[in-house]
Amino acid sequence: SSESGGRRGALIVLEGCDKAGKSTQCRLLLEALKDAGKPCHLFAFPDRNTEIGKVIDQYLKCTKNLSDEAIHLLFSTNRWELVPTIRELLLNGESVVLDRYAFSGVAFSAAKGTMDLEWCMGPDVGLPQPDLVFFLNLTKEAASKRDDFGRERYEKTEFQEKVKSIFMKIQDPAYWKVIDADRSKEEVQKELFQLSLETIEKSKNKPILKLWD
């Protein structure tokens, strides 16, 4: 189908701080959409399986050190390497759910305080713009109680608070929806599913826009 005329799928992103329940909600959302007869695919960033993703994985597990700039660019490259696949699916009428995207890229890097916001956004300018971003909002008390918190680089309460404030700064009301993630996973899931169905309907005849362009 053509870029402007065809009936495309929707690009739906889940964002949030670490341990907000994104991965669980992504899985549940995908199942629910499939059960509703909506063709869809799930990808997670970082995709740790590619060559670049393996380096990112080592960095996150603290078995490898890289400069702040270098790891930032690798995270971005890790998204760009999947763009052809994402575009093809969308133009083929299939929806794509992403577990993190460029917003995590900017929020986590800018929170370090060594790179300014605009520099951080640069490499991701022009990525396919999501039709909907769910920001799973978790209080810091709830976050630090969740399983496994503190195992990887960045999983520290103070740093996560900085990350959250940058997420708030870069949110665009055109596609950004804050979700209360302190609730049960069933309640959260129900809301994500309903809003996703609406977005899939509304996005069908819209062109794919470019992020931060």
Nearer to ligand TMP, 38 or 124 (CB): 124
Nearer to ligand TMP, 143 or 200 (CB): 143
Q: How far apart are CA 103 and CA 124, in angstroms?
A: 9
State the pairing for strand pair 11-16/40-44: unpaired
Nearer to ligand TMP, 9 or 53 (CB): 53
CA distances from 95 to 16, 45, 46, 116 (A): 21, 17, 19, 33
Give the shortest CB-24-to-ligand TMP separation in angstroms.
Answer: 12
Could you tell me the two tokens for 155? 């999983």
CA distances from 34 to 51, 81, 134, 173 (A): 30, 26, 19, 27
Give the shortest CB-38-to-ligand TMP separation in angstroms.
Answer: 24
Give the shortest CB-175-to-ligand TMP separation in angstroms.
Answer: 17
Give the shortest CB-162-to-ligand TMP separation in angstroms.
Answer: 12
Nearer to ligand TMP, 9 or 123 (CB): 123
Nearer to ligand TMP, 60 or 197 (CB): 60
Give the shortest CB-78-to-ligand TMP separation in angstroms.
Answer: 7
Nearer to ligand TMP, 6 or 43 (CB): 43
Nearest by Cα to 117 from 137, 129, 102? 102
Give the shortest CB-205-to-ligand TMP separation in angstroms.
Answer: 30
Q: Judge whether 146 and 22 are in contact, CB under 8 Å.
A: no
Q: How far apart are CA 101 and CA 14, in angstroms?
A: 8
Which residues form the interface with ligand TMP (CB under 6 A)? 18, 45-46, 60, 75, 100, 104-105, 108, 154
